[in-house]
Amino acid sequence: MDIFALIPQFSGLIWTLLAFVVALSVIVAVHEYGHYIVGRWSGIHADVFSLGFGPVLYSRMDKRGTRWQIAALPFGGYVKFAGDANAASGKDDAAMEEVQADPAALRRTMHGAPLWARAATVAAGPAFNFIMSILIFAAVALSVGVPRDPMTVGEMRALPFEGGALLPGDEIVSIGGVTLPSASDSAAYSEAFSSVPVEQPTEYEVRRDGSLTTVPGPYIMPSLIQQVMPQSAAYDAGLMAGDVITAVDGTPIFAFSQLKTAVEASDGAALLLTVWRDGETLEFTMRPKVVDEPQPDGSFQTQMRIGIAGGTAFEAATTSPGVGEAVVSGGENMWRIITGSLSGLKHMIVGNISTCNLSGPVGIAQTSGAMASQGAQSFIYFIAVLSTAVGLLNLFPIPALDGGHLVFYAYEAVTGKPPSDGALRILMTIGLTLVLCLMVFALGNDLFCP
């Protein structure tokens, strides 16, 4: 075996692990800092703030008596508050005994603090994950901008099409006889694009220098790859953003809808794709995968997909949204991820879709590497998506997770007393077992699902 042939695979593995560790470390740091800072504001002292588990590589003590440390296993983290026996916030009976006679010291512990302080401290971790997601989504919206209204040509994309007469600055009035709606109505825009006759060249009615004129151009939704999805047939085959698919099994195509029809009709059989890349013609063979796609009504539809997203024949000119508009958009993005995740989980539980839709650490690591390889913006956006997922997971009412602790606090608020220490130990053991089983199940999906 030629050992040098393994170098690209080895470097790819290192890149994937590095991207995964960076993404996870950022998310965990924000989550745990939420616990720490709200606990501090609430009068609860933190003994340890740790990024990672296991042997400590670096640590320092701050002026408040909190030890900040980095540990050898960078797959999580924790804040150990005064009175905690472990990272899961189990009670240290011996430590609590020592402070029982000192009200001020007791108040500084996690288990001696008022209910409101404990609940706020626990809820802050997921809340900080959600806030980070919203801020990242908002920052992306501010940097990328929103389409100008009316739709305006910014820059033509590289396509194997000659004879087009669209120019940057052209305001699009209609395409193929279909009048475009306001750019702010994305659903109406999508419907208008799907109504455009599939023909090339396509007639564009544009406003240029204050006058209306009709010019030819490429079909508005060409068979162009704008994004390649991680862990997809297209990604595995080596397709790249910017590629244009010109034929499927020898049949010429120019529209993304034609490609979609061919993939859906394949029934999983291998397809030979002819691809135009920077003026060069290449061929790729790939087998579409079964994908459960969410629908607007919350249901799922099973389709054959190769894992690409298309785009328009030109980059639309953009304008910068206001900060408030960007934040609202960020909140809407985060809420869509939450509702989509809950809907997917429900459909997996009742058996409407495959449990293979649940990814484990290997799948998340592979996605981290793939998104990092597509650029900083894609990777940062993925961190925001993953941060929302981590915040949501931690709110599940499972003992050992933040949601489980909040359930205990709700019980205490209703009954006037917390669950007994014995009951808590049993419930925490059950919770840890459930979390471990879920991790093993997800890891099995990573290893054995197609």
d(CA 52, CA 25): 8
Most confident range, picked from 37-41, 84-88, 102-106, 165-169: 37-41
Q: Would 222 be classed as within a structural domain?
A: no
Nearest to 446 by CA among 205, 230, 250, 267: 230
**Taking a C-beta distance cutoff of 8 angstroms, is the pair 320, 333 a contact?**
no
Does one domain contain both 154 and 138?
no
pLDDT tens-digit series, residues 43-62: 999 999 999 989 999 999 99
Does one domain contain both 207 and 153?
yes
pLDDT tens-digit series, residues 308-343: 999 899 999 999 889 999 999 999 999 999 999 999
Q: Would 380 be classed as within a structural domain?
A: no
Q: Would 246 be classed as within a structural domain?
A: yes
* pLDDT category of residue 231 using cuts at 50, 70 and 90: confident
Does one domain contain both 16 and 133?
yes
Q: Would 52 be classed as within a structural domain?
A: no
Does one domain contain both 38 and 132?
yes
Lowest mean pLDDT among 121-125, 406-410, 443-447: 443-447
Lowest mean pLDDT among 71-75, 277-281, 286-290, 293-297: 293-297
* pLDDT category of residue 195 using cuts at 50, 70 and 90: very high
Does one domain contain both 264 and 158?
no
* pLDDT category of residue 184 using cuts at 50, 70 and 90: low
What's the pLDDT at 9?
A: 45
d(CA 189, CA 177): 14
Q: Would 422 be classed as within a structural domain?
A: yes
Q: At which of 217, 252, 268 does a domain end?
A: 217
Active site residues: 32
Most confident range, picked from 90-104, 200-214, 287-301: 200-214
Count Cβ atoms within 10 A of the Cβ of residue 6 and give its class: 0-12 exposed, 13-18 middle, 19 or more buried.
Answer: exposed
Q: What is the mean pLDDT of the chain?
A: 89
* pLDDT category of residue 127 using cuts at 50, 70 and 90: very high
The CATH number of the domain where 196 resides is what? 2.30.42
Q: Would 318 be classed as within a structural domain?
A: no
**Residue recorded with tokens 């061919």:** 262
Q: At which of 310, 332, 351 does a domain end?
A: 310
Does one domain contain both 212 and 305?
no
The CATH number of the domain where 249 resides is what? 2.30.42.10
Q: Is the pLDDT of residue 359 over 50?
A: yes
Does one domain contain both 244 and 274?
yes
- As a whole-number percent, the residues of the chain with pLDDT over 90 amount to 60
Count Cβ atoms within 10 A of the Cβ of residue 10 and give its class: 0-12 exposed, 13-18 middle, 19 or more buried.
Answer: exposed
Higher pLDDT, 175 or 74: 175
Does one domain contain both 235 and 305?
yes
Q: At which of 310, 344, 360 does a domain end?
A: 310
CA quadruple 249, 254, 259, 261: dihedral sign: negative
Domain span at residue 181? 148-217
d(CA 137, CA 45): 33
Does one domain contain both 40 and 124?
yes
d(CA 90, CA 111): 9
Does one domain contain both 38 and 134?
yes
What's the pLDDT at 6?
A: 41
Q: Is the pLDDT of residue 4 over 90?
A: no
Q: Would 290 be classed as within a structural domain?
A: yes
Phi, psi of 55 (to 5 degrees): -60, 140
Lowest mean pLDDT among 89-93, 164-168, 172-176, 247-251: 89-93
The model carries a pTM of: 0.87
Output the 3-class SS for the chain: CCHHHHHHHHHHHHHHHHHHHHHHHHHHHHHHHHHHHHHHHCCCCEEEEEEEEEEEEEEEECCCCCEEEEEEEEEEEEEEECCECCCCCCECHHHHHHHCCCHHHHHCCCCCCCHHHHHHHHHHHHHHHHHHHHHHHHHHHHHHCEECCCCEEEEECCCCCCCCCCCCCCEEEEECCEECCCCCCHHHHHHHHHHCCCCCCEEEEEEECCEEEEEEECCCCECECCEECCCCHHHHHCCCCCCEEEEECCEECCEHHHHHHHHHCCCCCCEEEEEEECCEEEEEEECCEEEEEECCCCCEEEEEECCEECCCCEEECEECCCHHHHHHHHHHHHHHHHHHHHHHHHHHHHCCCCHHHCCCHHHHHHHHHHHHHCCHHHHHHHHHHHHHHHHHHHCCCCCCCHHHHHHHHHHHHHHCCCCCHHHHHHHHHHHHHHHHHHHHHHHHHHHHCC
- How many domains does the structure of the chain reveal? 3
* pLDDT category of residue 363 using cuts at 50, 70 and 90: confident
Q: Would 39 be classed as within a structural domain?
A: yes
d(CA 388, CA 405): 19
> What single-letter amino acid sits at 378?
S
Does one domain contain both 181 and 286?
no
Does one domain contain both 239 and 213?
no
Average pLDDT of the residues in 114-134: 97
